[in-house]
Amino acid sequence: MTLTLYNTLTRAKAPFQPIDASNVRMYVCGPTVYDFVHIGNGRPVIVFDTLFRLLRHLYGAGHVTYARNITDVDDKINARAARDYPGLALNDAIARLTEETTRQYQADCAGLGALEPTIEPRATAHLPEMARLCEQLVAKGHAYVAEGHVLFDVASMADYGGLSGRPLDEMEAGARVEVAPYKKGPMDFVLWKPSKPGEPAWPSPCGIATPGRPGWHIECSAMAGKHLGDTFDIHGGGVDLVFPHHENEVAQSRCAHGTPGMANVWMHNGFLQVEGEKMSKSLGNFITINELIASDKFGGQRWPGKVCRMAMLGTQYRSPIDWTVERLAQSRATLMEFADICHGVTASVPDPEFLAALCDDLNTPSALSILHGIAKSAKRGNREAAGALKASLQLMGLYDNETRAEMAAGQPQVTVDAVHVEALIAARLAARKAKDYKEGDRLRDELTALGIMIKDAKDAATGEFVTTWEVRS
Ligand code: AMP
Ligand code: ZN
């Protein structure tokens, strides 16, 4: 079976050919650990876990190395640590905060059905590697020292901008931010910077006397280089990372190692959105993974992690997703149906058509619709189909020994606001009267998501449609 992947670098889909089939290597940019992460951050976790599982299936579990880093040095971390642990020295406060948040992040990932990556390198454990990269880049004429900073000299790299496809002169013309006076070129970026008093600090490279700290991009170049080598197979993250983060990673790694590429395939997931806008901390339109799984803050129900995973995989990873209660309710219903079929069945092997869909640039919606067909056949008593369904769901991380218990525990605790329900029903009847069936269906979905079942009937006396409702048991 040939795996085909879309590559941001070439803007095309191509068959995947690992550098070394006995050790397929993938790096994905992980979180900055200062708070609970939101479900938008969960998208790369689920997408690249699905790819990790597929690669393990194709090449053997012991032949795939997956590194996902933890960014534990950042201004947001410093500010949050000082605020949350005022009694502690800043370094101790930072250690406490990043340890706790990392643990929480790992619990969230496990909740979403993600396997542990092979390695989870932390930035603060790679300061010597980052310093060495700075030294190499200065020695090779790709970086310079200015006022306690080490800066990457963008003009020294002829094909800078290749990943994001932005010509340098256009980027320079568009650089609206005030350019620091010590920069040679407006697009030059920080590899190392001086620490202000009270900030975390490490011995600086390149003969700089004052202690400092690394820039953002250098940490991923250092960690990827150390754990996966100068050139590796796949580099992933959200589409917001293409520029500047990944562009600058490529520049650093290629120029330091003298290689034509950093990763052969660059993959980027699309945004998870709320009403058409990217879910993000700064917009305040976010829901954390922890809140989805453990509270009823979203749509008045708890959503088991595998339901969230199913909801995420219902869309191909490069397209945007709107995160709605309806989507989750539908995913819950499907997963419950699938889980009931799988119960007590021996898993066989994943269905070949399903596998082919996954191998087509992770076409998970197509893979799931194939599983719907298989489930239908299994429900008609086809045991072979049930075995294939179970193996396929296991491969996608949607079914394990816990799934049925998780689904039962996650059953909606429906608290009904009868006035709201009646209002929705009235709105639906009005929509249907106006022949706006799309709106009518949408309102029915909204009621379903609230755990309400409705029944339409014609009133024999008046000939009018009436709708009765009950809480789904
Ligand atoms: P951050 O901590 O913001 O750097 O994000 C960690 C990872 O989550 C990166 O790969 C981001 O691209 C990704 N990410 C952040 N927000 C979203 C979102 N709304 N949808 C999809 N991916 C996101
Ligand atoms: Zn990164």
CB 45 less than 6 A from any atom of ligand 1: no
From the CA of 321, which ligand is nearest?
Answer: 1
Contact 267/316 with Cβ under 8 angstroms?
no
Name the β-bridge partners of 25.
Answer: 65
Q: Which of 1, 2, 55, 4 has its CA nearest to residue 28?
A: 55
DSSP-derived secondary structure for 293-350: HH-STBTTB---HHHHHHHHHTS-TTS-EE--HHHHHHHHHHHHHHHHHHTTPPP---
Cα 40 from Cα 424, distance rounded (Å): 29
Note the pLDDT of residue 415.
62
**Residue 221 Cα to ligand 2 middle (Å):** 8
Q: Which of 431, 240, 407, 285 has its CA nearest to residue 336?
A: 407
Provide the sign of the torsion angle of the four alpha carbons 103, 105, 107, 113, taken in this order: negative
R_g over Cα of the chain: 26
CB 354 less than 6 A from any atom of ligand 1: no
Average pLDDT estimate for 228-257? 98
Name the β-bridge partners of 100.
Answer: none
Range with lowest mean pLDDT among 278-282, 326-330, 453-457? 453-457
166-190 pLDDT, tens digit per residue, is 887 777 776 666 788 999 999 999 9
Is the per-residue pLDDT at 287 higher than 70? yes
**Residue 458 Cα to ligand 2 middle (Å):** 60
Cis peptide before 186 (omega within 30 of 0): no
Note the pLDDT of residue 178.
76
394-405 pLDDT, tens digit per residue, is 999 999 988 988
Contact 97/86 with Cβ under 8 angstroms?
no
Alpha-carbon torsion angle 75, 81, 41, 311, nearest 10: -160
Provide the mean pLDDT of the chain: 94
DSSP state letter for 139: H
CB 236 less than 6 A from any atom of ligand 1: no
369: left (phi over 0), alpha (psi -120 to 50) or beta: alpha
Note the pLDDT of residue 452.
82
**Residue 415 Cα to ligand 1 middle (Å):** 33
Binned at pLDDT 50, 70 and 90, residue 296 comes out as: very high
Is the per-residue pLDDT at 41 higher than 90? yes
123-159 pLDDT, tens digit per residue, is 999 999 999 999 999 999 999 999 999 999 999 999 9
Cα 116 from Cα 68, distance rounded (Å): 9
Cα 220 from Cα 68, distance rounded (Å): 10
CB 387 less than 6 A from any atom of ligand 1: no
List Cβ<8 Å contacts ≥24 apart for 90-95.
90/198, 90/199, 90/200, 91/200, 94/200
Best residue among 26, 32, 234, 240 to mutate for probing ligand 1's pocket (most ligand atoms within 8 Å of CB) is 240
**Residue 111 Cα to ligand 2 middle (Å):** 23
Is the per-residue pLDDT at 473 higher than 60? no
* Structure-block tokens of residue 419: 């006035």
Note the pLDDT of residue 169.
78
Contact 212/193 with Cβ under 8 angstroms?
yes
CB 286 less than 6 A from any atom of ligand 1: no
Q: Which of 26, 28, 35, 27 has its CA nearest to residue 105?
A: 35
Percent of the chain whose pLDDT exceeds 90: 82
Cα 43 from Cα 295, distance rounded (Å): 20
